[in-house]
């Protein structure tokens, strides 16, 4: 995570140093991770029941959620001297709302990811919405940064409507509430 606050003075230097792309995980590391995960589950007492409960809850959560997204290429995006300058301008480009908090910024390769929580939509209190904005950036010949595409992913119909989308809600889940 790079920063918890969009206007943090420390944000600039940290964001600017993450210019190299990271390699994907190799097969050996993936197999090691899987084996360690299996060992962790087996150490837990009643791990089968715990795992079933977690996976059932996870399935229910994803079945009832309305994951939505929109985005696309951006052709007329201005150039920025730095990624930090772009981050400072984010709040003017994405609809703002009360009870909004930034969870953090992540920079990986040429993608800047902004994760935030939104507790109010269109002036009404709302269950907490997770909103993740992913900006694909590239360097210009002059060394500046330009956003080439943007995606916004979220789990709320009201927030999607506030952003200009139209949605049909899914049918109610037939699974019991495990919370």
Tell whether the model's pLDDT for residue 131 goes beyond 60.
yes
CA distance 93 to 25: 34
* Mean pLDDT over each residue of the chain, to the nearest integer: 67
pLDDT in tens, 1-21: 333 344 444 444 445 555 555
Paired residues of 143 in beta bridges: none
- pTM value > 0.75: no
Higher-scoring residue by pLDDT: 143, 102? 143
Tell whether the model's pLDDT for residue 168 goes beyond 70.
no
Q: In terms of Cα–Cα distance, which of 120, 97, 113 is closest to 149?
A: 113
CA distance 148 to 146: 6
Per-residue pLDDT, averaged over 145-174, amounts to 69
Tell whether the model's pLDDT for residue 30 goes beyond 50.
yes
């Amino acid at each position: 995570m790079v920063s918890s606050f969009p206007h943090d003075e420390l944000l600039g230097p940290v964001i600017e140093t993450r210019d190299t792309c990271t390699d994907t995980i190799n097969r050996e590391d993936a197999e090691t991770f899987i084996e360690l995960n299996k060992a962790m589950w087996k150490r837990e007492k009643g791990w089968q029941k715990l795992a079933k409960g977690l996976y059932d809850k996870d399935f229910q959560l994803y079945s009832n959620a309305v994951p939505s997204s929109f985005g696309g290429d951006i052709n007329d995006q201005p150039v920025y001297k730095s990624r930090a300058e772009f981050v400072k301008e984010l709040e003017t480009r994405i609809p703002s709302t009360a009870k909004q908090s930034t969870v953090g910024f992540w920079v990986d390769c040429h993608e800047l990811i902004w994760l935030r929580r939104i507790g109010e939509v269109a002036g009404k209190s709302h269950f907490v919405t997770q909103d993740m904005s992913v900006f694909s950036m590239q360097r210009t010949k002059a060394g500046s940064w330009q956003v080439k595409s943007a995606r916004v992913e979220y789990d709320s119909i009201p927030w999607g409507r506030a952003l200009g989308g139209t949605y049909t809600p899914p049918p109610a889940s037939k699974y019991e509430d495990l919370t």
